[in-house]
């Protein structure tokens, strides 16, 4: 690819992120892995294949060298067209947005980069197609499937708004299916996203079909995201496009004169509960429009909540057996989370959504207790939940998605010598039969969030013979010790 050839010699410097964004990331935290890289992204990714290109950005499918996993690498240009030279580039906002996000319906982000001319974001690769392809396939989605998709979409929007992030460009082409078989979605397209703090925005953003009326008027809030969700909801239910205009200018003029109104004829056969929620999302007055967090409590959405299945029961069993990792072994565990396959993650996502009953993208202690109680009764559940929460974080805070992934890892990954050898070989990039502190830093890449002293302490835990390296036997001993020391 041209990208791969032309950028090899450019120096990459870390992005300066607000200190408040980093304060909650401790050494060993799964989220600490999501750090701004200070190395060339093309040292970590290969086989770049362009899958999408716009004026200021290009998206590549690629392979992560360390894990051999398919990834997406988004390149964002800092250069602006001559007519826009006076505009201050805002691409770094997208970098900062991804730095904070952690939700099962958002692609996992693996790396952030900045060169003199460009930004790069390395993300999870979704094997499925855009939701628009399913719309064409079905013409009209079965209402049951629509409710599954809308619960995920509203959960994602509610989560974004809880982080004070407005997407501003929610449309079908930005909703990807994780694979072609299921209905698990991922929301992408954050190029227009922005942070907010009660202020109003100006300027039209995104696809005109999905623009809220107040966005056309030029004075709007985060509630534009709920309108976009409503328009997608309508299309999923009916298979119809919302406006008759043939061009963007015609559509925008149509919105100005007469914002979209529901046609009950088009909704023939749709349940009254679904129509009620649709009306609430497509309320022209943004102050009266339902929020995503309130919409998640709507009966029609709540009936789409995942039910406890055998797979979820298996996850609960793993959670009960979870042993806290310490130092070095926790860092390696975080690395393993990055390498989870789609199949391994599927059941974990389902379990997360079963526990996350209010759909806010985290699991509270009360939600965890309710989930355990359904599986094993309240008496045992209370003991198991208290034990688990204490091992996840000292403050008893809600469990994030990344933490949940870490909790659900098969313990056999760390007790089987065969599995440990596979992990060790990925960390031992030079095939020297030993891991250095630098190898660990490169693999985990949260060095800007971890002090040199912490790195040295992690290595000391595993480096028994004090030669500055961790060989395989030391690696095995450290991993076994790490998960047993909490017994």
Q: Are 219 and 146 part of one and the same domain?
A: yes
Q: Are 145 and 263 part of one and the same domain?
A: yes
Pairing verdict, β 165-166 and 194-195: antiparallel
Domain at 45, CATH number: 3.30.200.20
Q: Are 71 and 157 part of one and the same domain?
A: no
Q: Are 8 and 53 part of one and the same domain?
A: yes
Nearest Cα to Cα of residue 230 among 159, 306, 186, 288: 288
Report the pLDDT averaged over residues 406-430. Answer: 80
Q: Are 457 and 471 in contact (CB under 8 A)?
A: no
Give the structural domain span for 83: 2-124
Q: Are 469 and 383 part of one and the same domain?
A: yes
Q: Are 13 and 97 part of one and the same domain?
A: yes
Q: Are 389 and 403 in contact (CB under 8 A)?
A: no
DSSP assignment of 317-362, as one string?
HHHHH-----HHHHHHHHHHHHT--HHHHHHHHHHHHHH-TT-SSS
Report the pLDDT averaged over residues 159-164. Answer: 94
Q: Are 76 and 90 in contact (CB under 8 A)?
A: no
**Domain end point (choices 270, 302, 334):** 302
Q: How far apart are CA 359 and CA 306, in angstroms?
A: 11
Q: Are 352 and 439 part of one and the same domain?
A: yes
Q: Binning pLDDT at 50, 70 and 90, where does residue 14 land?
A: very low
DSSP assignment of 59-73, as one string?
EEEEEETTT--EEEE
pLDDT per residue over 330-367, tens digit each?
A: 788 878 887 787 777 888 888 898 899 888 899 988 99
CA distance readout (Å), 442 to 29, 72, 402, 429: 16, 19, 20, 10
Give me the pLDDT at residue 59, please.
Answer: 93
Residue 269 half-sphere exposure toward CB, CA atoms < 13 A? 8
Give me the pLDDT at residue 67, please.
Answer: 83
Domain at 344, CATH number: 1.10.238.10
Q: Are 203 and 259 part of one and the same domain?
A: yes
**Domain end point (choices 302, 333, 367):** 302
pLDDT per residue over 135-149, tens digit each?
A: 777 766 789 989 999
Give me the pLDDT at residue 393, please.
Answer: 63
Give me the pLDDT at residue 152, please.
Answer: 94
Nearest Cα to Cα of residue 289 among 379, 213, 389: 213
DSSP assignment of 126-141, as one string?
P-S-BHHHHHHHHSS-
Domain at 270, CATH number: 1.10.510.10
Residue 82 has pLDDT above 70, yes or no: no
Query: Does residue 75 or residue 266 have the better pLDDT?
Result: 75
Give me the pLDDT at residue 263, please.
Answer: 76
Q: Binning pLDDT at 50, 70 and 90, where does residue 92 land?
A: low
- The pTM of this model reads 0.84
The count of structural domains within the chain is 3
Q: Are 230 and 254 part of one and the same domain?
A: yes
Residue 294 has pLDDT above 70, yes or no: yes
Q: Are 242 and 181 part of one and the same domain?
A: yes
CA-atom Rg of the chain in angstroms = 24
Q: Are 363 and 432 part of one and the same domain?
A: yes
Q: Are 250 and 330 part of one and the same domain?
A: no
Give me the pLDDT at residue 148, please.
Answer: 92
The structure tokens listed for 145 are 């499937």
Give me the pLDDT at residue 23, please.
Answer: 36
């Amino acid at each position: 690819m041209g990208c791969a050839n032309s950028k090899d010699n450019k120096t990459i410097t870390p992005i300066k992120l607000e200190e408040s964004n980093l304060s909650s990331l401790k050494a060993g935290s799964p989220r600490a892995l999501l750090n701004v890289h200070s190395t060339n992204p093309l040292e970590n990714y290969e086989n770049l294949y362009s899958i999408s290109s716009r004026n200021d950005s290009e998206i590549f499918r690629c392979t992560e060298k360390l894990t051999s996993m398919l990834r997406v690498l988004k390149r964002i240009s800092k250069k602006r067209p001559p007519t826009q030279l006076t505009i201050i580039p805002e691409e770094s906002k997208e970098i900062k947005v991804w730095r904070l996000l952690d939700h099962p319906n958002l692609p996992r982000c693996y790396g952030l980069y900045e060169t003199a001319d460009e930004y790069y974001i390395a993300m999870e690769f979704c094997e499925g197609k855009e939701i628009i392809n399913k719309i064409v396939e079905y013409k009209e989605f079965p209402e049951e499937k629509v409710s599954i998709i809308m619960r995920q979409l509203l959960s994602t929007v509610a989560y974004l708004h809880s982080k004070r992030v407005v997407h501003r460009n929610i449309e079908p082409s930005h909703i990807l299916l994780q694979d072609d078989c299921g209905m698990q979605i991922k929301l992408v397209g954050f190029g227009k996203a922005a942070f907010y703090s009660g202020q109003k925005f100006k300027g039209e953003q995104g696809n005109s079909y999905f623009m809220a009326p107040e966005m056309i008027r030029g004075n709007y809030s985060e509630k534009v995201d709920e309108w976009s969700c409503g328009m997608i909801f309508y299309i999923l239910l009916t298979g119809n496009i919302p406006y008759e205009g043939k061009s963007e200018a015609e559509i925008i003029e149509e919105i100005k004169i007469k914002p979209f109104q529901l046609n009950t004829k088009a909704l023939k056969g749709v349940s009254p509960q679904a129509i009620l929620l649709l009306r609430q999302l497509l309320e022209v007055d943004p102050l009266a429009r339902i929020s995503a967090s309130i919409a998640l409590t709507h009966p029609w959405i709540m009936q789409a909540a995942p039910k406890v299945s055998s797979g979820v029961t298996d996850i609960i069993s793993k959670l009960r057996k979870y042993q806290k990792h310490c130092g070095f072994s926790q860092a390696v565990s975080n690395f393993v989370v990055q390498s989870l396959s789609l199949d391994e993650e599927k059941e974990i996502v389902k379990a997360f959504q079963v526990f996350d009953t209010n759909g806010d993208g985290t699991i509270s202690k009360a939600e965890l207790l309710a989930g355990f109680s359904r599986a094993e009764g309240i008496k045992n559940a209370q003991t198991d939940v208290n034990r688990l929460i204490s091992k996840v974080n000292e403050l008893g805070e809600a469990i994030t998605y990344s933490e949940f992934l870490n909790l659900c890892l098969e313990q056999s990954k760390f007790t089987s010598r065969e599995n440990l050898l596979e992990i060790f070989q990925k960390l031992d990039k030079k095939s020297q039969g030993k891991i250095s502190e630098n190898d660990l830093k490169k693999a985990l890449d949260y060095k800007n969030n971890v002090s040199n002293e912490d790195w040295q302490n992690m290595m000391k835990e595993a480096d028994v013979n004090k030669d500055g390296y961790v060989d395989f036997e030391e690696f095995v001993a450290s991993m076994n010790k790490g998960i047993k020391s909490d017994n």
